[in-house]
Structure 1
């Protein structure tokens, strides 16, 4: 009799656990994947956990019909408006294009569709390319390596690799924005310093000879027009990639004083004379200005000359030194100028292939961190490298990983790293032209989020839960609300019609 009662009690307890699915074996309980996700519904949801138990999983839930009394409510405020968003994406370097072109056409189209398609994929919509070579090109070159205007031409790397890939991406998503950045001017334009003005025959370091300002401005115009002839509209440029970095395999040192003079005297007027609508972004380097004291606030110092500032849309930043709070500081000094985040990398130094760590950190510091500090765009470095971190060159980064890595043995197997997910979680729900809006209410350690209103009127919210437990969160847009149990250590993106 006693044994029977014990069996009954055990059965009742087990049945209770199965029915509530809350206290028993909670670590393995994934209600967001099993109970609440459907094949269609009012809200589209994408979820990625840092263990890949959910790997950019797509699902749907409906608005709640119950009265909302949840203390864990995030409320959107569409009347509070911040910056307009341009887009999210990655760099399409020579190395990336080489790897993509080694894939079969079928595999490449599948991957590019998953990455760039607005309705069949992540919808990435902003990419960065080099004007000439970068440190992830197959060789060092510019498009004007021999003096004489007749010698300007797009080079074999662009024709064989970069242009075909760009055209395939544009066929998938014609609204892609493209940014161009030079790593160096042609060597014949470079000098050792601005005092001696001696020729500097090296791809690495050197400075732009002021006597070639007009020629270099012409070079930008010619490159933009050459790309346009190929059917590629470049919507923005930066003047110099990492202007305070003398050490890259292809590089050129350019102080704010030099950049201000070049933009004011040559680049700005020449783009205007050519009727090009390409935006110019200043700086394009680290938050901490590489600890060079007189270069602090680099873009603001350029803006202080009204003539130069009139040609400049804003400033671009990288995160290899300093803190994202610099974006807010620059915005507060010049709220009339735009901010874009244009480069970050993962590699051996930061456990770049450790998704459990990097997904959380990169979402916090790069994706949501820059957007919540007024950045209009988030662009990570190489979209694709092979699993040997290449192709790479001496003098460039030989310890970098791509947003995705592809197997060098067969160019088939793809490993998606943190940068692919953090950009994709934004681009999937936040479209070009969206406005970041207010979102407040529920706060908790490790919880970061930001909200947007798209131009079609739909709302989007991207959320990071960097906690060791699931959190049931309610989202309220003042008209409708819904609840979703956000998995531990995950990133979730939502989009719904207003």
Structure 2
């Protein structure tokens, strides 16, 4: 068998690469990576970011030529080819104000429901442009932050107020006019709605699910939770153990913000309980817990390494993809009406009319560019004592894509066993690097 290998350090991501052909029959002497394509797991949905108000506001700060290059960088074959993107339903913390699609007090029939200036100016134009640029199908999912304030117990967009009992059906009807689902109890300073698992279960089976079905919208993929690992598996299990609510739910959405405290084993638990439901990481960003003057750090490799390590871990524990948060922020990490500033793969400098691709952008690109929708995760393992090397491997037809992260301070010689201990690929992986290896079987090779 002849294997073509393409090696991409994180800083050299483009369409112009050097191709090398290696034939090795013996392993090297350092880190051993073993693949087994006979063991295949979940199918990949894809990778991407969110069309937030803040993203659109920042793109519009750029000259027209730079705006076009920004969009190509994310969505075109010349760029990193995002294919899975999140769209906030109305306002989020990354808006300049809290708002919903019906802020007319008491409008339970949603007569005044309408998209806003933010949609027409900051979201829809860039979604349409992304669709024009993308060769892959662009998949979109909506996430609500808060119902209209008048539907909530506290009468506010933020805080811990839940949905008023008499608003369960109007809120379900609101979804028919839009899409998806959000949850959990805490006194957040930004747009939110408190849901116990029991209430969300009952709302889905008595209101949302039947309402979507009556409107012929069951073609939509409905995800529950949309929160951190610390809610696994108990929160979605409460919903999915009930056959009436289970029938309307397709998957479980997870955020990364508690991953340092809650290990990935809970994802395995969730999968073992509900194998027919997909898992998807729907929101992740760095800088959210940093000091105020470090919410944005230009050129920071550690944050790229953090992204790559988390993505590899999540994919190896049943996630079908990984969606970043804002695709663009300003140099302060905003705008954000709740002053909840964070970092982003692209930072826009309004004064200079420039945008900066952070190392996080290139980390995302290793996955979004080279792991195609429909690829299957396959078994991969790293030799004992090499914990600083992380790996995730995928099968595309008869080819393999292998993404490796060296978190160590030293270069490593990697020997990759393609299966069966008969053929190996040996290469040097630099310290603190992220490498993608495409092992493509040559036509007619045996």
Q: Would the TM-score normalized by the shorter structure come out above 0.5? A: yes
Q: Distance in 2 between matches of 1:252 and 1:55?
A: 43
Task: Choose from 324, 328, 333 the match for 1:380.
Answer: 324
Q: Distance in 2 between matches of 1:375 and 1:495?
A: 21
Matches within 5 A, 1:63-462: 63-71=21-29, 72-117=31-76, 119-146=77-104, 147=107, 148-173=109-134, 175-192=137-154, 200-224=155-179, 237=180, 239-240=181-182, 242-276=183-217, 277-289=219-231, 297-321=234-258, 322-325=261-264, 326-347=266-287, 349-350=289-290, 353=297, 355-364=300-309, 366-393=310-337, 395-398=338-341, 400-418=342-360, 420-440=361-381, 442-443=383-384, 444-454=386-396, 456-462=397-403
Deviations 1:378-427 (A, max 9, x none): 1121111000222121x3413x1222211131331314142x23321111
Deviations 1:265-322 (A, max 9, x none): 1211222222221111111111224xxxxx9710011111111011111211112223
Q: Distance in 2 between matches of 1:110 and 1:116?
A: 10
Deviations 1:166-186 (A, max 9, x none): 111111115111111000011
How many residue pairs end up in the alignment? 421
SS in 1 for 2:329: strand
Could you say which structure has the larger radius of gyration? 1
What is the deviation of 1:203? 4.2
What is the deviation of 1:158? 0.2
Tell which deviates more after alignment, 262-271 or 300-309. Answer: 262-271
Q: Distance in 2 between matches of 1:417 and 1:140?
A: 31
Q: Distance in 2 between matches of 1:396 and 1:283?
A: 24
Q: Distance in 2 between matches of 1:310 and 1:482?
A: 46
Tell which deviates more after alignment, 163-172 or 102-111. Answer: 102-111
In structure 2, the partner of 1:10 is: none
Q: Distance in 2 between matches of 1:149 and 1:413?
A: 40
Q: Does 1:471 align with 2:412?
A: yes
Aligned 8 A contact 1:389 1:401 in 2: yes
Structure 1 gap ranges (5+): 1-40, 49-53, 193-199, 225-236, 290-294
What is the deviation of 1:461? 0.8
TM-score by length of 2: 0.88
Aligned 8 A contact 2:27 2:416 in 1: no
Deviations 1:26-72 (A, max 9, x none): xxxxxxxxxxxxxxx93333212xxxxx3436633333234233244
Q: Distance in 1 between matches of 2:39 and 2:224?
A: 28
Structure 1 residues 348, 135: CA separation in 2 closer, same or farther (over 3 Å shift)?
A: closer
Q: Does 1:56 align with 2:17?
A: no
In structure 1, the partner of 2:435 is: 492
Deviations 1:98-154 (A, max 9, x none): 11122222212212212222x322112111110011100122111122214321111
TM-score by length of 1: 0.79
Aligned 8 A contact 1:318 1:341 in 2: yes
What is the deviation of 1:202? 4.4
Structure 2 gap ranges (5+): 442-446
Tell which deviates more after alignment, 107-116 or 435-444. Answer: 435-444
Q: Distance in 1 between matches of 2:353 and 2:190?
A: 26
Aligned 8 A contact 1:189 1:208 in 2: yes
Aligned 8 A contact 1:63 1:481 in 2: no
